[in-house]
Amino acid sequence: MCRIAVLASGRGSNLEAIIQAWKAGELGGEIALVLSDNPKARALERAAKYKIPHQVVNPASYSNREAFDEALIEVLKEYQVELIVLAGYMRLISARVLQAFPWKIINIHPSLLPAFPGLNAQEQAWQYGVKYSGCTVHFVDEGMDTGPIIAQRVVPVLPGDTVTDLTDRILKEEHRLYPQVIRWFAEGRVILQGRKVLIKGE
């Protein structure tokens, strides 16, 4: 059973979708840990509600980035984590952490990458006037939303949409896509070949 850590900084809506898939037996692995850099993150409350082990590694408690990174790695290794899932985790992952867990860290982003990386992707897409947007699950590398793309879902941008309308529509697809990709990982179906990602059986 694949041991999964979910890293979240905020309310944890994607975490909730992942937990529901796990409870329904649809995740293919187990959530071994919820970890946050924010002691006040609602994601920690969600973890407690479902009796999932949860910890805070607060950067404010460490003298520098290197010490924080080592503490993060230590906790993840203590829980024997095999897949790290970023779900609204608002810190860039360092090269040191990437080296400790090579190609074992994934993220979800609310646009069709490589379009609109970074913060406020939904508003970027809305302002630009695109007809379609969506969400992307990708491997994490040292760049900002630049890792190899694993899967994407497309949503229309409708006439009269507000940024909130588009954000809500994308979020619904995030909640469907992320647990599915985690299951592919747990089943050993995700194959990385250079920048190309193949899903066995898809």
Residues acting as catalytic residues: 109
Place of tokens 């179906």: 189
Whether the CB-CB separation of 105 and 139 falls below 8 Å is answered with: yes
Listing DSSP states for the chain in one string gives: -EEEEEE-SS--HHHHHHHHHHHTT-SSEEEEEEEES-TT-HHHHHHHHTT--EEE--GGGSSSHHHHHHHHHHHHHHTT-SEEEESS--SPPPHHHHHHSTT-EEEEESS-TTSS-SS-HHHHHHHHT-SEEEEEEEE--SSSS-SPEEEEEEEE--TT--HHHHHHHHHHHHHHHHHHHHHHHHTT-EEEETTEEEETT-
Nearest partner of 111 among 175, 170, 181, 196, judged by Cα: 170
